[in-house]
Structure 1
Amino acid sequence: MKQKQHKQYTLADLVQGLDVIVQGNPNCRIQGVCTIQDGQPGCITFLTNPLYKKYLSSTQASAVVATAEDAVECQANVLICKDPYYIYAKIAAFFDDKPQDSPGIHPSAVIGQNCQIDLKASVGANCVIEDNVKLAAWAMIGPGCVVGACSEIGEGSRLEANVTLYHKVIIGKNVLIASGTVIGSDGFGIAKHKGVWHKVPQLGGVIIEDNVEIGANCTIDRGAINDTVIEQGAKLDNLIQLGHNVRIGKHTAIAGCVGVAGSTTIGSNCLVGGQSGFVGHITVADNVVITGGTEVSKSVRDPGIYSSGIGGLVTNSEWRKNAARVHRLGHLIQRVKALELALEELMGREAT
């Protein structure tokens, strides 16, 4: 395992090939990153959240990534761009000091029969690679991982320590899976007969397409018949459960502690807030935002922002109106009582 060497870069080096204008000294040397409020000379930071704009004029950072509008207030060098967070992500990669694994198979690893392991792949200590597994070039299998029989891991993909892949799991290129995640375990399929639950064999697999990221301690069940699929570019946070036959669309991002029941499809370019839950056998359209803590109890057919509370799933704008009305319930009840009393008095007068 090789450690990256710390380097310095000029601002001109860092923005090469990016749609950025350097306001200030392009030869300013940068050796790391920092937050805007704790800025340090020789470091670069960024501004996206307006709450931190108050630090823009006083930060000690040598450079700031910001929009043209915000650059006016900054005394440091500024990398002017339309999307500061994206540009910061590209620049931060220069300073990523994550250890790089050398190709090869650790002596303590157990390798099954008929495996195809590229000479540029890396297999860490105490790994178990079962029969008929394929590892492409630059695939990295961290210490303590298990890769089940007939699974495939694509070029440049990385399994951090103690990831478990069951049999017939297909991983594409440049996929990152964090520690503790389990992919391909049996889905929750049971059939009740004469008062006794019987296991339904889960005969599908799991397909993880290119450029997917999966956080720590996620569980992704194999399909019951067809495969469970996560399409290219999707990003999953920690502690996510996907049931059997779930399909996650391209470039959808899901925050932590989300559960998706079996046979549900979430479309492309969706954003799912943390602690949300999806019932099974529903479909969510492309370009949908689910706010945190939402119970998705029915299919969502149109793009938009959705939330839930009392009364089930509604558009976020309707939910916000209802939430405001809840705080007025006590006042409204008193008004209704007063109106009922007035109506009783009026009806009494008419009766006499």
Structure 2
Amino acid sequence: MFSVSASEIVDYLQNECHIECRTLRKSPDGAPLTGFAALTQARESDVSFWVGRVESVTHANGPSNKELNCVAAGLLFVPDASLVDVSKNDGEVKTADATISVALLDQFPQVKNIVVVAEPYHAMVKFLEHFEGDGFRENMETGVHFEPDYMGVGFGENGPWIHPSAVVEGFVDEGCFVGPGCVVMRGASVGRGCRLESNVTIYPNVVVGEGCIFQAGVVVGSRGFGFYEHEGERRMVPHFAGVRIGNRCSFGANTVVAAGFISPTTIGDNCHLDSMVQIAHNCVLGNNIYMASQTALGGTTTLEDGVQFAGGAKAAGHLTVGKNAIVTAKAGVTKNVPAGKTVAGFPAIDIDIWRRQMVELRVMAKKKLK
């Protein structure tokens, strides 16, 4: 638990984190801030942040203006004027800095301290990292810091630390944490500073880089779902080539990465997969890939650097999604996606075309109902 003033937070961000801050409103009472909360749940003793979005006509972008008016945070990080989307009742968006400042003050009449920063999300993270301390760091750590009274098997000052219920037959490098119920099979290799939280299974011929996080129930290197025909019978493909994972990747709970056939399934650096993601055999993921929950790739799919999959999106096998492309929620990719494109729907097409189709379909449906 912390107790800190708004001025102390601003001073820390400016002097230690080199984040430029501009105080738009400062509370005269200097009451201490003791907690943090989401925007619409924050109280007068909480720190929170707003990224500048206001609810759209589809109710998808963010809180409504009415909800923003009711925010009662003790300190609120808001974006730089150039990023703010604050609208007046006539729908006109004001972009001049002075106008935005006035609009922000009007938008949050109950907030005690308003601080303008370039990136509110980053400012909030740096605040938590310093003032929340251990609770924040334990959630974000990759490996483990050792304490003398820890139960388990430790090897040297730098670990790894292995829970008594874990089974480790493969290689686990120093600084790793292997939690309860985890299995690292013979022939697997886990790099320095990785964290296997609980019930994680790493199959043979899996090579994991440094600083990766595996949440509960992750399975890496299980046999892929592949069959071939021989003499009128379907036979199982022996996926024995394993998986190769780069550095600083994270895998959400119950995610599965299947082994490749004669070449490994490959995941690059800084890739982040949410819970219940399926990566099929022989997929190749580049660097900086982001896949939200319940996304899936069919076998031998290639994702180039920077690709993003929104929740529930799927890709059929044997295709390529180009660099920095975005696949929107619940889309179904059935053919190659060019670099930089955003696609939606099933089968997935350019999002602008898809949107026009949806509008035209609604118009046609309304006409039919009349």
| TM-score of Structure 1 vs Structure 2, range by shorter chain | 0.7 to 0.9
Residue 34 in 1 paired to residue 37 in 2? yes
Amino acid at match of 1:21: C
Match of 1:161 in 2: 198
Is 1:45 paired with 2:48? yes
1:127 — aligned with what?
A: 166
Contact 2:177–2:196 (8 Å) recurs in 1:
yes
* One-letter amino acid matched to 2:306: N
CA shift for structure 1 position 325 = 1.8
Contact 1:259 1:276 in 2 (8 A): yes
Q: 239, 263, 279: which is aligned to 2:300?
A: 263
**RMSD over aligned Cα atoms:** 3.0
Offset at residue 55 of structure 1 (A): 4.9
Task: Return the index of the structure with the highest Cα Rg.
Answer: 1
> How far is 1:285 from its partner?
0.5
Residue 308 of structure 1 and its aligned partner are, at CA, apart by 2.4
Q: CA deviation at 1:192?
A: 1.6
CA–CA distance in structure 1, aligned partners of residues 205 and 31 of structure 2: 51
Deviation at 1:85, TM superposition (A): 1.8
Confirm or deny that 1:192 pairs with 2:229: yes
2:123 aligned residue = 87
Is the Cα–Cα contact under 8 Å of residues 151 and 170 in structure 1 kept in the other structure? Answer: yes
Deviates more, 1:58-67 or 1:244-253: 58-67
1:64-96 deviations in whole A, cap 9, x for unaligned?
111133664144323322221232233233426
Letter in 2 for 1:20: E
Do the aligned partners of residues 289 and 35 (structure 1) sit closer, same or farther apart at CA in structure 2, a change above 3 Å counting?
Answer: same
- For structure 2, which runs of at least 5 residues remain unmatched after alignment? 55-61, 85-100
Count of residue pairs the alignment pairs up: 321
**Distance (Å, rounded) in 2 between the aligned partners of 1:32 and 1:207:** 41
Contact persistence 1:134–1:150 (CA under 8 A): no
- Give the equivalent residue in structure 1 for 2:248: 211
Give SS of 2:192's match.
coil
Summarize deviations over 1:113-148 as a string: whole Å, max 9, x none.
xxx8874322123000014x1322x21111110011
Q: Give the whole-Å Cα distance in 2 for the aligned partners of 1:227 and 1:104.
A: 37
Deviation of 1:302 after TM superposition, in Å, equals 3.3
**Match for residue 77 of structure 1 among 113, 116, 119:** 113
Residue ranges of structure 1 left out of the alignment (5+ in a row): 1-5, 335-352
Tell me, in whole angstroms, the C-alpha distance in 1 between the residues paired with 2:31 and 2:147: 40
Q: Output one character per residue of 1:232-263: Cα deviation in whole Å (capped at 9) or x when no partner.
A: 11111111111111122211211111110111
SS state at 2:39 partner: coil
In 1, the alpha carbon distance for the partners of 2:68 and 2:362 equals 38
CA distance in structure 2 between the partners assigned to 1:142 and 1:181 by the alignment: 12
SS of 1:37 mapped into structure 2: helix
- Following the alignment from structure 1 to structure 2, what is the Cα–Cα distance between the partners of residues 243 and 80? 44
Q: Which shifted more, 194-203 or 155-164?
A: 194-203
**Aligned to 2:125, what secondary structure does the other structure show?**
helix
1:262-312 C-alpha deviation (Å, 9 max, x unpaired): 111111112211222111111110111111111100111231210123xx3
- Supply the AA of the counterpart residue of 1:203: F
Structure richer in strand, relative to its length: 1
Three-state SS of the structure 1 residue aligned to 2:181 is coil
Maintained 8 Å contact 1:36/1:55: no
